[in-house]
């Protein structure tokens, strides 16, 4: 379980086994919890989990065939994996991507997450093509993709596609090697009719994981304040 404290009255709790009934009067979000509670506003959340207890070969074996092929092409192109230590570099890379994609930008509020974050990147000829940011639960040995961004200045989108699949596989191997057991691809929306969302669903399903049905819970006080805002 991870607790992200924004101030003395507001926090997020990730991957908890159960809710704390006393906390329902506080400004609190439970993220990716297994059970609903009548004390909280609940929203269904589906995601795809990869079992990192499998061997590296077994993990890759479950990928779609074209994913395996594209990862092999990335390796032939000498695309490399690196861990990124500087959050500012990720923030600049992601916000440029998000601005062009009309997504919400990362702000200084995200600094509260940093003790529980790891960042990786795929590099091609000294150019960063893809970056992933993960939320890390050291207690239950779970990693959860929070943000992913691709280069908006590199012209060959096919190579970026190779690099993104390559980076996911390298991330799985990296986290497996340092003792993590579950790789969470960060959510899917099975009910959406939006083609872009459906494309993301298809992309994530291609890694061969298992769909997990979970919930995001919000205290009614925090839910009310957000509606007022």
β-bridge mates for residue 79, sequence order = none
Instruction: Give me the pLDDT at residue 62, please.
Output: 97
**What confidence tens digit (pLDDT) does each residue in 137-183 have?**
999 999 999 999 999 999 999 999 999 999 999 999 999 999 999 99
Sheet-wide strand order for 142-150: 2-5, 10-14, 27-33, 210-219, 40-51, 182-184, 142-150, 127-137, 117-124, 80-84
**Lowest mean pLDDT, pick from 15-24, 67-76, 212-221:** 15-24
Q: What is the CA radius of gyration of the chain?
A: 18
The mean pLDDT value of the chain amounts to: 95
Distance CA 184, CA 135 (A): 10
On whether the CB atoms of residues 213 and 187 are closer than 8 A, the answer is: no
Q: Give the confidence band of 7 by pLDDT, cuts at 50, 70, 90.
A: confident
Each residue of 187-201: b (16+ CB within 10 Å) or e? bbeeeeeeeeeeebb
Instruction: Give me the half-sphere count of Cα atoms (radius 13 Å) on the Cβ side of residue 205.
Output: 11
**Residue among 189, 146, 206, 148 at smallest CA distance from 45:** 189
**For 38-63, what is each residue's pLDDT tens digit?**
999 999 999 999 999 999 999 999 99
Domain limits of the chain? 2-45+216-228, 47-211
Mean pLDDT of 196-210: 95
Contact 11, 112 (CB under 8 A): no
pLDDT score for 25: 78
Secondary structure element (H or E) that encloses residue 121, with its range: strand 117-124
Q: Across the strands, what pairs with 30?
A: 13, 217
Q: What percent of the chain has pLDDT over 70?
A: 100
Burial of 214 (0-12, 13-18, 19+ CB in 10 A): buried
Question: Residue 159 burial by CB count (10 A; 0-12/13-18/19+): exposed, middle or buried?
Answer: buried
Q: Which CATH number fits domain 47-211: 3.30.365.10, 3.40.630.30, 3.20.20.70, 3.20.20.300?
A: 3.40.630.30
């Amino acid at each position: 379980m991870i607790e992200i404290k924004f101030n003395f009255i507001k926090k997020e709790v990730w991957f908890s086994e159960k809710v704390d009934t006393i906390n329902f009067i506080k400004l609190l979000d439970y993220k990716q919890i297994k059970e609903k509670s009548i004390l909280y506003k609940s929203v269904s959340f589906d995601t795809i989990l990869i079992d990192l207890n499998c061997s590296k070969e077994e993990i890759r074996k479950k990928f779609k065939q074209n994913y395996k092929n594209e990862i092999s092409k990335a390796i032939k192109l000498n695309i490399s994996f690196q861990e990124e230590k500087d959050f500012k570099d990720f923030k600049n890379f992601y916000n440029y991507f998000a601005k062009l994609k009309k997504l919400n930008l990362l702000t200084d509020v995200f600094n509260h997450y940093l003790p529980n974050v790891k960042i990786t990147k795929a590099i091609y000829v000294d150019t960063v093509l893809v970056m992933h940011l993960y939320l890390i639960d050291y207690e239950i040995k779970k990693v959860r993709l929070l943000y992913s961004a691709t280069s908006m200045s590199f012209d060959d989108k096919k190579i970026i596609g190779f690099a993104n699949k390559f980076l996911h596989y390298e991330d799985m191997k990296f986290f497996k090697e340092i003792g993590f057991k579950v790789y969470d691809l960060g959510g899917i929306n099975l009910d959406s009719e939006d083609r872009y969302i459906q494309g993301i669903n298809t992309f994530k399903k291609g890694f061969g994981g298992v769909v997990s049905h979970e919930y995001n819970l919000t205290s009614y006080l925090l839910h009310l304040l957000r509606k007022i805002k």
